[in-house]
Structure 1
Amino acid sequence: MKLLKTQSLQPKHLRMIMHNRTKKISDKARANILSRLESADQKNSGLMPERVQSAAVFSSPDNLLSTFIDEFEKVNGQVVVCDNQLAVARQLVELADEHCWNNVFCLEESLLPYIPDSIQLGNDEDFESMQVGITGCELLIARTGSVMVSSAVASGRRLNVFPPVHVIIANVDQLVPFLDDAISRFNEKYKDNMPSQATVITGPSRTADIEKTLVMGAHGPKELIVLIHQ
């Protein structure tokens, strides 16, 4: 009786067989994906379907100002409502006296009338020792207690991130309910001349990356104050 000899496959042959099988599976999967994409493209004419909002997740605030104050204070922001420009100036004097501000920066000419003569503004030589930066903003978002700023102002991006204290002077007309509303108004304002940067700020800078310990002012101002006037 003769015994049949079996030939064992070498590792090289095994690797080739496995490679061919893997390639066939990969090619089949790729062909399936391409087929589905082509089918979707023909069905939708290459366009994404329009977003359909079946229901509002959050109801529209009845009072934009009170909603903004509530949400802003939840994230450790400070809000002071002022009746007019003079009241804003008085509030700045009180803050400066209370916190001993002596190196304040404001680079926006439209805001200079709000700043009383008793507050001496710093110059570029004092920039690195700045204590407070005063800026305007684009919009106030009530539902999230956020402030939208952009680089379109004279101070650019510097005063939004560098000083330990960031003071924002805003008008009640800048209040909007939701982020969608802020984006729509921002786009309408600048249209084809968009600023190079726009940021939504929600409260003072904070991080808890290191051992889950909350640290304020790690990446920007540790105090955020909004003065809102009529």
Structure 2
Amino acid sequence: MQENISSKELILKKIRKALLEKRDNPYPNLEDTALYKNNEEILEIQFAEQLSAVSGNFIFCENGMDFIENILELAEKYNWRKIYCWEPELQALLSNYEFPFYKTDKDFEMAEVGITLCEALIARNGSVMVSNHGAAGRRLSIYPHHHLVIARTGQLVPDLKEAFALIKKKYSNQLPSMISTITGPSRTADIEKTLVLGAHGPKELFVFLVDDFS
């Protein structure tokens, strides 16, 4: 008399048999396969397009003077008054052109703009890689309504792999305790599935790519 086997037992039997059998890897060269297709587009253009797609703003500057002219235009357009910058390098640049800003966290609860440096710009998805290593820490990239990121052309890389390579080269084994990426302004669609910018952080993101700070 044939023994009755339930469907559950039959499935488990097949699973056990499959686990015991030696199986060839269907994708033996997976790790050597590129995750993305090659993109021949200039990195600056690729980054600008991807950043714009996530509601960010890209501004290319030839030098420090060009950067100051652009930030003056924005300050006038948005009527900025409470502008904070804690990075010594950027403070020196702004002070050289007598651009008004706050060097300390005085009245920080009223901050409108935070100006920071970054670790890298990632062209493939328009993201900004930041860490807590700089003088700005985390607050200037999170609290003010407008976040201004200043980067050099040498910090523009194709993807995350290259961005982490920059981090590793810069810090060696003393990596920052916080490394993160920012992709456009803060957003949420939790409320009635309506997209809202600035929900948990800055509602505007401006990325300045400066070719020469002199």
Q: Aligned match of 2:101 in 120, 132, 137?
A: 120
Contact map agreement 2:86 2:104 (CA 8 A) in 1: no
Paired letter, 2:57: Q
Contact map agreement 1:103 1:131 (CA 8 A) in 2: yes
Structure 2: which 5+ residue stretches go unaligned?
1-8, 23-27
* Deviations 1:21-50, CA, capped at 9 Å, x for gaps: xxxx9xx99xx7xxx79x9xxxxxxxxx99
Name the structure 1 match of 2:163: 182
* Deviations 1:41-98, CA, capped at 9 Å, x for gaps: xxxxxxxx99613244231343111111111111110111111011111111111111
Name the structure 1 match of 2:199: 218
Name the structure 2 match of 1:158: 139
Contact map agreement 1:131 1:163 (CA 8 A) in 2: yes
* Deviations 1:83-137, CA, capped at 9 Å, x for gaps: 1011111111111111111100000001113323242326322100000000000
Contact map agreement 1:79 1:226 (CA 8 A) in 2: yes
1:140-155 matched pairs, under 5 angstroms = 140-155=121-136
Contact map agreement 1:60 1:177 (CA 8 A) in 2: no
C-alpha separation in 1, matches of 2:67 and 2:52: 19
Name the structure 1 match of 2:3: none
Q: Which has the higher contact order (CA 8 A, sep 6+)?
A: 2
Q: Aligned match of 1:86 in 65, 71, 83?
A: 65
C-alpha separation in 2, matches of 1:51 and 1:165: 42
Contact map agreement 2:91 2:103 (CA 8 A) in 1: no
**Coordinate RMSD, CA, aligned:** 2.6
Name the structure 2 match of 1:15: none
Q: Aligned match of 1:193 in 174, 182, 201?
A: 174
TM-score (ref. length: structure 1): 0.76
C-alpha separation in 2, matches of 1:148 and 1:64: 16
Name the structure 1 match of 2:31: 52
Residues 225 and 126 (structure 1), Cα distance of their counterparts in 2 relative to 1, 3 Å cut: same
Residues 118 and 178 (structure 1), Cα distance of their counterparts in 2 relative to 1, 3 Å cut: closer
Q: Pick the structure with more helix per residue.
A: 1
Contact map agreement 2:112 2:145 (CA 8 A) in 1: yes
Partner SS state of residue 107, structure 2: helix
Once the two structures are aligned, what percentage of the paired residues are identical?
A: 42
Name the structure 2 match of 1:7: none
Paired letter, 1:54: T
